[in-house]
Amino acid sequence: MNVDKVRALFEADAVAVIGASRDPSKTGHAILKNIVESGYKGRIYPINPKADEILGIKAYPSLKDVPDKVDLAVVVIPARFVPQVIEEAGEKGVKAAVIISGGFRETGTPEGRELERKLVEAAKKYGLRFLGPNCQGVNNPHKGLCASWPKITAKGPLAIISQSGTVAATFEIWAEKEGIGISKMAALGNKADINEIDLLEYLGRDPDTKAVGMYIEAVSDGRKFIQVASEVTKVKPVVVLKSGRTEAGAKAVASHTGSLAGSYKLYLAAFMKAGVIPVDSIEELYDVTKGLALLPRPKGKNVQIVTSSGGSGIISTDYVESLGLRMAKMSDDVREALRKELPSYCIVKNPLDLTGDADAERYDTALNHLFKDEDIDIIITIFGDPIPGAAEVIRKWFDKGKVVVPVYLGGGEVEDIEKGKMHSMGIPVYPTPERAVKVVKALWTYTSYLKRMSL
Amino acid sequence: MNVDKVRALFEADAVAVIGASRDPSKTGHAILKNIVESGYKGRIYPINPKADEILGIKAYPSLKDVPDKVDLAVVVIPARFVPQVIEEAGEKGVKAAVIISGGFRETGTPEGRELERKLVEAAKKYGLRFLGPNCQGVNNPHKGLCASWPKITAKGPLAIISQSGTVAATFEIWAEKEGIGISKMAALGNKADINEIDLLEYLGRDPDTKAVGMYIEAVSDGRKFIQVASEVTKVKPVVVLKSGRTEAGAKAVASHTGSLAGSYKLYLAAFMKAGVIPVDSIEELYDVTKGLALLPRPKGKNVQIVTSSGGSGIISTDYVESLGLRMAKMSDDVREALRKELPSYCIVKNPLDLTGDADAERYDTALNHLFKDEDIDIIITIFGDPIPGAAEVIRKWFDKGKVVVPVYLGGGEVEDIEKGKMHSMGIPVYPTPERAVKVVKALWTYTSYLKRMSL
């Protein structure tokens, strides 16, 4: 079964690094170091014919010499040696390989294509499945298996599958810096064997993954993608950044991976059919994957804005309207109660402006009443000043029947502290109102899809 | 003359903080503290009838008791006392005031309106000019005068005028974190006297300001704005985020500051006429102001992309095309030279993919040849891996006849170091290709305007 075939990529109990190097400038050193330093929970076998030990770990001249079972081979040697090494791995019963090495089909040379053909042949012979070649590896922080770079160890709910190692790394770095963390990362490379569809299928069943972000330039099999994505989106959100949308972009895709980018309109139609959420930038890929992983589902698209910053409230309002969401109409009861309890200079409308001297308690009062208003589905809660205690208020109201989306900006050191607290509690915070409203729009798109499908 | 009238706001040699407080929870404490801690280069007079000294500085019961001349009064007392204090300030010969206090017209009450009327009357009587009321103050890091919050001390070329204190603070925080820095900040508040046009006129002549960012909800006088902005854009870029674009947004503007938001289409037409660059988000306001302050002007709109990340190159290409810029066609000579000098697996096209093992030297080689290509006006240079030395290469080629725009992502700790170096050298770096291409688009829009005006 497909899912089991790729499981060893992420969940191996023993990993060999073929081409592990003592030279710190080499990728074969960085990969081994990252696996060691990310606290890998299995056995590690550096393979290098010229070293007895690397980074304090006993090294072996070849895979054959390893006395134990090996589940995963990470390959970082020159391309011309790779087919032979995969052959050896197959003989040894290695289940899967990650082939970092470049120099195959992507070179556009007959030699490169021939090497890739031999590689595929060797793997098939033994039923060994591999990722790459020419890829930036895999990461599973839940097992401490960072067979990639940079070293990312923050465990979390976000998976990223990427045609670009850089996009994957950027996504991981943001998730680590924010304290949100990663469930799985896979960089696709040449996709000579395992492709984005195999990975998506696996991630759909991975309990550590709450949402899947993907950067793709082309899908390997459109029909299969829709079929698998439709199954996955039933249980967790899938967010896709697709490039190669313009003529020049499509040409660049052909040069990058030899794929046909295809019409973006057709892609959008396929995404809609499968419940996949399209996004338009790397930043949005991260924001939306994070939000869809962590936010509850709204009952409707009626948005109330609460803010200490009048300007941020207005900017949010423009975005809510222009993205096709709806500004909630506050009920008379709730309006009256708020007028009674809030200082007279607060503007009790939508946006609800608590003004610049608002403290956390005032937000609590506001949320307490807004939660009684049945017209409100989503509350974008903007902290626009240094407001200590913001995280506690959000925690109190998060996931209590309405969707609360916090935004924090302009708050200096207090902001950094409160944002950190929220992220560590698994609450997604956004740095600007615009970015938050885009996430809300995506959340509503996904929720509507599930409703339409009666899910 | 208008400009002189607002000069004292930013360049005062003596400042009184009326309502300076010993209580750290009060704004009157925070403001005094920020002025002191930001290293203000003039004399400071805390005014408080109940304190002999605050933060180690001798305090005075009232302005009258200050033995010396005072240029600027920062007012942080309850609204009902403000008109009387402005009267006293006028008598003492104070030139300008920043009125932080709220409780005026923005409350929507007859009392508030009456207080604001009295305030205006008192100021007019003495020719005293003031910012606010109900505003988040001013900042001039070049003089260490942070009469606002949070405390921002990083000196730099970016000015921000904002209807929203939060948007101003956010802009300042980003500029400080990146090491770019601020020239002047002013939060508009109720605009009962000094407005965005007065400030823009002043900033147009301020030698520390290389570009002006503005967040506005409405301009005070459309004709005057176009007239002043047209003069300022002749010498430096003006970038505007205008909110209140939608019906709901315009209603929120009316509640926030009692202004008419007006048709955004008309605003766009006015901006185009005056050479003002419109942007669509707070993040873009910052990115574009930073880029237009620091980047040279391109000769044309032909973009070459250089990257270690194929994916980032393709994403950039899509944005270049869809934003109406043009992908440069590489000349045969340059292509041949690059093929000769770069490793065979590099993709010598546009985007030029130096691939994931590119080091700083390879970028230098690439830029050396690309600079000989006359079809290329702008080179978006993307570092998509941990590449030490990136800053040095960019410094070498920055401002040498073509526009080089660096992007750095996915590089972990090396990225942080190299970005820091570039920013400290006054070179703007962007965290994603999308954000960089939007800046290039804005840069080209401004440059075309100057060309059209034969400037």
Band of the pLDDT at B2, cuts 50, 70, 90?
low
Contact B405, B430 (CB under 8 A): yes
Provide the token pair at B98: 């920043």
SS3 B120: helix
Please give the Cα distance from B447 to B455 (Å, whole number). Answer: 9
Asked whether residue A1 carries a pLDDT value surpassing 50, the answer given is no
**Closest approach of chain B CAs to the CA of A430, in angstroms?**
12
Asked whether residue A436 carries a pLDDT value surpassing 80, the answer given is yes
Asked whether residue A23 carries a pLDDT value surpassing 90, the answer given is yes
Please give the Cα distance from B405 to A172 (Å, whole number). Answer: 24
**Closest approach of chain A CAs to the CA of B400, in angstroms?**
27
CB contact under 8 A, B412 and A169: yes
Interface test with A, best of B163, B171, B314, B342 (most A CBs within 10 A): B314
Which region, left, alpha or beta, applies to residue B285 given φ > 0 means left and ψ of -120 to 50 means alpha? Answer: alpha
**In sequence order, which residues have a C-beta less than 8 Å from that of residue B429 and are 6 or more positions away?**
B406, B407, B408, B419, B422, B423
**Closest approach of chain B CAs to the CA of A256, in angstroms?**
6
- Relative to beta strand A14-18, strand A43-47 is parallel
**Which chain A residues have a beta carbon less than 8 Å from that of B317?**
246, 248-249, 252
**In sequence order, which residues have a C-beta less than 8 Å from that of residue A26 and are 6 or more positions away?**
A76
- How confident is the model over B130-145, as pLDDT tens digits? 999 999 999 999 999 9
pLDDT at position B1 is: 43
**In sequence order, which residues have a C-beta less than 8 Å from that of residue B227 and are 6 or more positions away?**
none
Give burial (CB, 10 Å; 0-12/13-18/19+) of A342: buried
Band of the pLDDT at B3, cuts 50, 70, 90?
low
CB contact under 8 A, A165 and B356: yes
Which region, left, alpha or beta, applies to residue B56 given φ > 0 means left and ψ of -120 to 50 means alpha? Answer: left
**Closest approach of chain B CAs to the CA of A266, in angstroms?**
17
For B384, the closest of A166, A281, A410 (CB atoms) is A166
Please give the Cα distance from A208 to A119 (Å, whole number). Answer: 32
Alpha-carbon torsion angle B443, B446, B448, B451, nearest 10: -120
**Which chain A residues have a beta carbon less than 8 Å from that of B433?**
282
Size of interface A-B (CB pairs under 8 A): 236
CB contact under 8 A, A282 and B315: yes
Asked whether residue B4 carries a pLDDT value surpassing 90, the answer given is no
Q: Which of A251-260, A285-294, A317-326, B432-441 has the lowest mean pLDDT?
A: A251-260
Please give the Cα distance from A286 to B432 (Å, whole number). Answer: 12
- How confident is the model over B369-411, as pLDDT tens digits? 999 999 999 999 999 999 999 999 999 999 899 999 999 999 9
CB contact under 8 A, A166 and B386: no
Q: How far is CA A419 from CA A210, A305, A387, A440, in A?
A: 21, 19, 11, 18
Give burial (CB, 10 Å; 0-12/13-18/19+) of A129: buried
What does the pLDDT average to over B27-49? 96
Q: Which of B72, B63, B68 is nearest to B10 (CA)?
A: B72
- How confident is the model over B425-436, as pLDDT tens digits? 999 999 999 999
Q: In sequence order, what are the beta bridge partners of B86? A: none
Band of the pLDDT at A2, cuts 50, 70, 90?
low
CB contact under 8 A, B311 and A243: yes
For B412, the closest of A165, A173, A356 (CB atoms) is A173
Q: Which of A270, A304, A315 is nearest to A379 (CA)?
A: A304
Interface test with A, best of B148, B166, B438 (most A CBs within 10 A): B166
CB contact under 8 A, A162 and B243: no
For B165, the closest of A103, A150, A356 (CB atoms) is A356
Contact A63, A86 (CB under 8 A): no
**Which chain A residues have a beta carbon less than 8 Å from that of B168?**
410
Cα A16 → chain centroid: 26
Provide the token pair at A381: 């809660």
For B282, the closest of A244, A315, A411 (CB atoms) is A315
- How confident is the model over A327-358, as pLDDT tens digits? 999 999 999 999 999 998 899 999 999 998 89
Provide the token pair at A224: 């299969």
Residue B448 burial (CB count, 10 A): 15
What does the pLDDT average to over B352-368? 96
Looking at every residue in chain A, the average pLDDT score rounds to: 96
Type and span of the H or E element at B226: helix B222-235
- How confident is the model over B290-316, as pLDDT tens digits? 999 999 999 999 999 999 999 999 999
Which structural domains are found in chain A, ordered by start? 2-291 (3.40.50.261), 296-452 (3.40.50.261)
For B312, the closest of A164, A312, A314 (CB atoms) is A164
Interface test with B, best of A318, A347, A349, A414 (most B CBs within 10 A): A318
Asked whether residue B418 carries a pLDDT value surpassing 60, the answer given is yes
Closest chain A residue to the Cα of B215, Cα to Cα: A311
Q: Which of B117, B56, B66, B126 is nearest to B97 (CA)?
A: B126
Alpha-carbon torsion angle B198, B202, B204, B205, nearest 10: 150
Please give the Cα distance from A68 to B217 (Å, whole number). Answer: 69
SS3 A209: coil
CB contact under 8 A, B351 and A409: no
CB contact under 8 A, A317 and B347: no
Q: How far is CA A372 from CA A134, A176, A334, A348, A359, in A?
A: 55, 36, 7, 15, 21
CB contact under 8 A, B327 and A248: yes
What is the rounded end-to-end Cα distance, in angstroms, of chain B? 26
CB contact under 8 A, A169 and B355: no
Q: Which residues of A7-41 are buried (b: 16+ CB within 10 A; e: fewer)?
A: bbbbbbebbbbbbbbbeeeebbbbbbbbbbebebe
Asked whether residue A240 carries a pLDDT value surpassing 50, the answer given is yes
Band of the pLDDT at B260, cuts 50, 70, 90?
confident
- Relative to beta strand B137-140, strand B182-187 is antiparallel
> DSSP labels for B244-305?
--SHHHHHHHHHHHS-----HHHHHHHHHHHTPEEESSHHHHHHHHHHHHHSPPPSSSEEEE
What does the pLDDT average to over B58-83? 97
CB contact under 8 A, B255 and A347: yes
- How confident is the model over A139-165, as pLDDT tens digits? 999 999 999 999 999 999 999 999 999
**In sequence order, which residues have a C-beta less than 8 Å from that of residue B273 and are 6 or more positions away?**
B226, B230
Closest chain B residue to the Cα of A106, Cα to Cα: B345
CB contact under 8 A, A357 and B103: no
Residue B95 burial (CB count, 10 A): 23
**Which chain A residues have a beta carbon less than 8 Å from that of B27?**
357
Rounded to two decimals, the pTM is 0.97
**Which chain A residues have a beta carbon less than 8 Å from that of B280?**
434
Closest chain A residue to the Cα of B326, Cα to Cα: A248
Asked whether residue A19 carries a pLDDT value surpassing 70, the answer given is yes
Type and span of the H or E element at B431: none
Q: Which of B240, B319, B413, B108 is nearest to A344 (CA)?
A: B108
Q: Which residues of A353-363 are buried (b: 16+ CB within 10 A; e: fewer)?
A: bbbbebbbebb
CB contact under 8 A, B353 and A217: no
What does the pLDDT average to over A214-241? 96
Band of the pLDDT at B154, cuts 50, 70, 90?
very high
**In sequence order, which residues have a C-beta less than 8 Å from that of residue A368 and are 6 or more positions away?**
none
**Which chain B residues have a beta carbon less than 8 Å from that of A281?**
315, 432, 434-435
- How confident is the model over B19-29, as pLDDT tens digits? 999 999 899 99
Interface test with B, best of A314, A323, A349, A361 (most B CBs within 10 A): A314
Please give the Cα distance from A214 to A242 (Å, whole number). Answer: 8
For B252, the closest of A107, A109, A314 (CB atoms) is A314
Interface test with B, best of A153, A170, A350 (most B CBs within 10 A): A170
**Closest approach of chain A CAs to the CA of B169, in angstroms?**
5
**Which chain A residues have a beta carbon less than 8 Å from that of B323?**
none
Residue B297 burial (CB count, 10 A): 15
**Which chain A residues have a beta carbon less than 8 Å from that of B150?**
386, 410-413
Peptide bond into A150 cis (omega under 30): yes
In this structure, which amino acid lies at residue A101? S
Alpha-carbon torsion angle B384, B386, B388, B389, nearest 10: 10
**Which chain A residues have a beta carbon less than 8 Å from that of B353?**
255-256
Looking at every residue in chain B, the average pLDDT score rounds to: 96
Q: Which of B129, B177, B120, B122 is nearest to B154 (CA)?
A: B177
**Which chain B residues have a beta carbon less than 8 Å from that of A351?**
252
Provide the token pair at A69: 């079972």
**Closest approach of chain A CAs to the CA of B271, in angstroms?**
19
**In sequence order, which residues have a C-beta less than 8 Å from that of residue B3 and are 6 or more positions away?**
B201, B202, B205
CB contact under 8 A, B255 and A167: no
For B410, the closest of A102, A173, A432 (CB atoms) is A173
